[in-house]
Structure 1
Amino acid sequence: MNRASKSFSAYEFLYIVGIIAISFSSIFIKWSSAEPSVIGMYRLYLTILIMLPLAWKYKQELLFHTFRQLLLLFASGVMLALHFLLWMSSLNYTTVASSTIFLALEPVLVMLGSYLIFKTKANKIMLIGMGIAMVGTVIIGSSDLALSKEALYGDVLSILGTIAVAIHMLIGKQLRSTTSAFAYNFLVFAIAATTLAVYNLIQGYPFTGYSKNEWGIFLLLAIVPTLFGHYLFNWLLKYMNATAVSMSVLGEPVIASLLAWALLKEALTGWQLGAGMVILFGVWLFMRHGKE
């Protein structure tokens, strides 16, 4: 019993590490002057480079797939690329607090998608929680519109980016049942990075000529929020309840907003704080009474 308790505590510790790690993502992106699609591309390519030494061990899973699996992997990678492009772009128009708070809607969208695709039922309290979260979203949107149309545009980009990552998660839920965390992440990261590379090529964005500071930011994004955040959460899915892992997104807006206040000197308005609490309460209610 003590051994199990210690083991669970270790997973809890890693869970907290993951939440803190992903919260740094918006800070690093704000520090960079590169295009969001370039940031996302190098963030993922550098992550793959770090993972490469272990690729030989998983060569069978990396090379052999059914046609259906390949289609799902491609769709998952494209949705992840779209998420990075939209959400990272939102940070150019709105604050970290407003942009990250919409990410808290991810578990709601994932469970809504599960209902539509897998026919997973939602009870009344879950629907009430979803309604409360949506009210908070409207409050932030209306308050940001009062500030500027740019801020509202950033909110819309963040919401669309959250929808994209929810679709990515739903596809991943199917693929992870037959694929290891390493193989899934490696392939999806590669597809997402290449999708962004094609986008950058079409847009004519430079692939080289970035300063050492920019390359340092790209590397920090690869190590901290990607490996110690997203990859860690996918690994924890094997040892922790999937619903509990997905609730990690609730901690990101809070920590990211505090980091932005401390490191970027971004002010937190009363509307953002109040509406943020409304969204978090709605999502918590939804997740608390949801079932696997």
Structure 2
Amino acid sequence: MEKTRRHLSGLGFALLAAVINGSVGVFITLSARMALESSAIAFYKCFLAVVILAIFLWANATLRQSIRNVFRSPILAAAGFFGVFVMNSFEVRAYRLESVATVVLMFLAGATVATQGLTIFMLSQRMTVGRAIAIGLCSAGVFLLMPKYLSFSAAAGCLLGAIAGVGYGTYMVIAQRFALKARLEDIFGMMVWGTIFLLPEYIVGGARIPSFDAWGMLIWLAMFPTILGYFLTTAAVTRIGASKVQLLELSEPLFAALMAWYFLNELLSSGQIMGGLAIVLASYAGDVIDKLVPGTHRQRRPSWRGSR
């Protein structure tokens, strides 16, 4: 009974994360329209998350210990680098160059390939037929997403979105491999490291202070997609694993496309819809095929060990 409850809660957390993360592109695009640089948006959404989390930790009398733990954990540093710095830095820039729905799909393609590939190395799992098909479908989806005459900015936006997805997929595997928990302390540590990594490019970009109107968007990005998004994703990963979470979060493009249509009047072409379907089917098909093929879930003997 406890195992079933834990599994169902993991499914729910993953779906909620997909809904919340689907709003990221819209609010980043709206923030950019307020003359905010990409480096400033990425930095402040994470910096504000650190401040908000610090207030909660201070209220619980655990702030001092949490700060000490941040700089003692290379795992939190790695999670902050891939899951905060890489994801936010590249994702924010991608939304300036390409439509929200396309960036989200490229993001998921990168996350799918990274998750399927890294689970082989970091979680000692076998390369299966399902994983190979998932990667192949992602590649086909990326090809279909590209318009016939691709401009430099559109290509750059797609590439940046995919790199952001690789960072996110890497973070999910790290969270599973080293059993990161959905605690305020761990999310605070990730945000601190991510903010530190984002600081140099914010300074180089001019270190501009946001206008009064932009703070509302940044606070929304800090509280919901950032803090709550990481909490839900980490909670889901520890319950059902990185691959299943990545599968369930493939519903994110639907929410992102609906929000982009409503708030930004953005629409997908027929080719992009076909490419999106291929990417969304990638992990689903891989999971189904692996269940049908005997012996694909057996793990290799771990070749290395690690701990927090």
When normalised by structure 2's length, the TM-score is: 0.81
Alignment of 1:270-281 (within 5 A): 270-281=270-281
Q: CA deviation at 1:66?
A: 8.8
- 1:109 corresponds in structure 2 to 114
**Secondary structure of 1:154's partner?**
helix
Provide the C-alpha distance between the structure 2 equivalents of 1:9 and 1:180, rounded to a whole number of angstroms.
16
CA displacement 1:108-160 (0-9 Å, x = unmatched)? 3112012134431021132122211111112213x1x6152211111111112
Give the aligned partner of residue 85 of structure 1.
Answer: 89
Equivalent of 1:162 in 158, 162, 165: 165
> Given the superposition, is the C-alpha separation of residues 160 and 9 from structure 1 closer, same or farther in structure 2, using an over 3 Å criterion?
closer
8 Å contact from structure 1 (residues 110, 170) kept in 2: yes
Match of 2:15 in 1: 16
Match status 1:176 vs 2:179: yes
Task: State which drifts further: 46-55 or 93-102.
Answer: 46-55
C-alpha deviations, 1:218-275, integer Å up to 9, x for none?
0010122122322222123344454332323301112101110111001211111011
Pairwise mapping of residues 213-292 of structure 1 onto structure 2 (< 5 A)? 213-289=213-289, 291=297
In structure 2, the gaps of 5 or more residues are: 291-296, 300-308
Residue aligned with 2:149, SS: helix
Does structure 1 conserve the Cα–Cα contact (< 8 Å) formed by 2:99 and 2:266? yes
RMSD between aligned residues: 2.7
Q: Which runs of 5+ in 1 are unaligned?
A: none
Instruction: Select which of 177, 195, 198 maps to 1:196.
Output: 198
TM-score when normalising by structure 1: 0.85
Change (3 A) 1:244 1:62: farther
Amino acid at match of 1:57: T
* Letter of the 1:192 counterpart: G
Structure 2 counterpart of 1:74, one-letter code: A
Residue deviations 1:181-204 (CA, integer Å, cap 9, x gap): 332211111111122122111232
Q: Deviations over 1:65-84 (max 9, x none)?
A: 796x33x3323322221221
Q: Equivalents in 2 of 1:6, 1:173: separation in Å? A: 19
Aligned to 2:304: none
CA distance in 2, matches of 1:253, 1:185: 25
Identity across matched positions, percent: 19
Q: Which has the higher helix share?
A: 1
| Code of the aligned partner of 1:148 | S
1:103 and 1:249 in contact (8 A); partners too: no
Could you tell me which residue of structure 1 aligns to residue 302 of structure 2?
A: none
